[in-house]
Amino acid sequence: MRKITLAALGAAALFLTAPAVAQDKTGWPQSLTIGTASQGGTYFIYGNGLANFISEKLGVNASAEVTGGPVQNATLVQTGDHQIGLVTMGPAYEAWTGKSELAPGVEHKDLRALFPMYQTPFQVVALKSSGIKDVKDLAGKRVAVGPAGGTAATYWPRFFEVLEVKPVISYAGANDATSQVKDGLIDAFAFAAGVPISAFAQIAAENPVNIFAFTKEQQKAILDKMPELAEFQIPGGLYQGFPDPQDTVSLWNFAVAHKDMPESLAYEIVKLVMENNDRMKQIHSTASETVPGHVDRNSFLPYHPGAVRYFEEKGITIPDNLKG
């Protein structure tokens, strides 16, 4: 009799606990798309890794798509063409307030924050033979600033204006731009991405180059004009031949979703990412910053209800004005 009772109790316990751990997949799509940026940049690597992780663990066919970067990603999520977008918070704020260069006058009020990713610093690469080793040296030079609509393409022209530098600007993805530098078609490539930037690492391994950012004076001038940016120091040793740290500015990156994403799906995505940091760092080293403690780096974009539920379960208070 005792054996039968224990067995019955065990079966009952399994029956009672099963619904609590089962995922509620009501309304989940069969597939979802994550907007990234150009090949050779950090978004492309991070977004593809995230898509594979979601597909593997949550049973949703997730894929990453090459885009023009954060400005376009915000609009693609707003319109529902993409379910997740990777964005920097400067372009995201402009989209939120209807000042997006891609969709001026359209307030992107359907965007919801999922989780913090990492900081995006700004850097420049040029062949050493060009003699270009400071932003001031870019005056009159042919400079690519990443794909149109990306973070780099949005902010580098503003930096040049603040610093009173007038280069000849063009637009290209990271891999294409570094190839153009090597071939002498342009003089420099000014970009923004999580470090190390794979395209920079590749060109530095193959060619004598100068990789630089800002002087302290240039950094201060930019921060005084653009409070959405943060002071940042790029660690030394990330690129072959560059052992010393460099001063620059940065923007925080977040993954965002449409407000109509099912709450349970948003919850499971945030939980998956936040509780598997070692796996995320295998995707890209910048994910060392993809942790719950950085939720406060977002000051304006409401969090998706699924994200709010996860973070508050972990004891992190989300301000009422950021609950979407």
240-262, pLDDT tens digit by residue?
A: 999 999 999 999 999 999 999 99
pLDDT for 1 beyond 50:
no
- What's the pLDDT tens digit per position in 118-153? 999 999 999 999 999 999 999 999 999 999 888 899
User: Is the model's pLDDT at 14 over the cut of 50?
Assistant: no
pLDDT given for residue 186 in this prediction: 98
Neighbouring residues of 200: CB distance < 8 A, sequence distance ≥ 6 = 123, 125, 178, 191, 211, 239
pLDDT digits (tens, 9 = 90+) for 179-223: 999 999 999 999 999 999 999 999 999 999 999 999 999 999 999
pLDDT confidence bin for 9, thresholds 50/70/90: very low
| Mean pLDDT for all residues in the chain | 92
Residue 213 confidence (pLDDT): 98
| Whole-number pLDDT of residue 11 | 38
Helix (H) or strand (E) holding 224, with range, is: helix 216-225
pLDDT value of position 227: 77
Residues 114 and 84: beta-carbon distance below 8 Å? yes
Strands of 50-198, DSSP E: 61-65, 84-88, 111-127, 142-144, 168-170, 188-192
User: Is residue 87 helix, strand or coil?
Assistant: strand
Q: Omega into 196 within 30° of 0, i.e. cis?
A: yes
- Are 60 and 265 in contact by the 8 Å Cβ rule? The answer is yes
User: Can you say whether the dihedral through the CA atoms of 93, 94, 96, 97 is positive or negative?
Assistant: positive
Q: How far apart are CA 89 and CA 93, in angstroms?
A: 6
Sequential DSSP letters for 50-81: HHHHHHHHH--EEEEE--S-HHHHHHHHHTTS
- Note whether 82 and 51 are within 8 A (CB): no
pLDDT score recorded for residue 236: 96
pLDDT band at 23 (very low <50, low <70, confident <90, very high): low
Structure-block tokens of residue 136? 């001031």
> 167: cis peptide before it, omega within 30°?
no
For the stretch 185-197, pLDDT in tens is 999 999 999 999 9
Q: Does the pLDDT at position 165 exceed 50?
A: yes
Distance CA 146, CA 149 (A): 9
CB 274 within 8 A of CB 310: yes
Output the pLDDT for position 292.
Answer: 98
Check residue 16 and give its pLDDT.
39
The predicted pLDDT at position 6 comes to 35
Q: Is 223 helix (H, G, I), strand (E, B) or coil?
A: helix
Q: How far apart are CA 242 and CA 210, in angstroms?
A: 9
Residue 89 pLDDT greater than 80, yes or no: yes
Mean of pLDDT values over 298-311: 96
Strand, coil or helix: 140: coil
What pLDDT score was predicted for residue 230? 86
Report whether 125 contacts 210 (CB < 8 A): yes
- In sequence order, what DSSP letters do the residues of 201-214 get, joined into one string? HHHHHHS-EEEE--
pLDDT band at 24 (very low <50, low <70, confident <90, very high): confident
What is the DSSP code (8-state) at residue 197? P
Record the tokens describing residue 239, joined without a space.
Answer: 């690129």
**What percentage of the chain reaches a pLDDT higher than 90?**
88
pTM of the model as a whole: 0.81
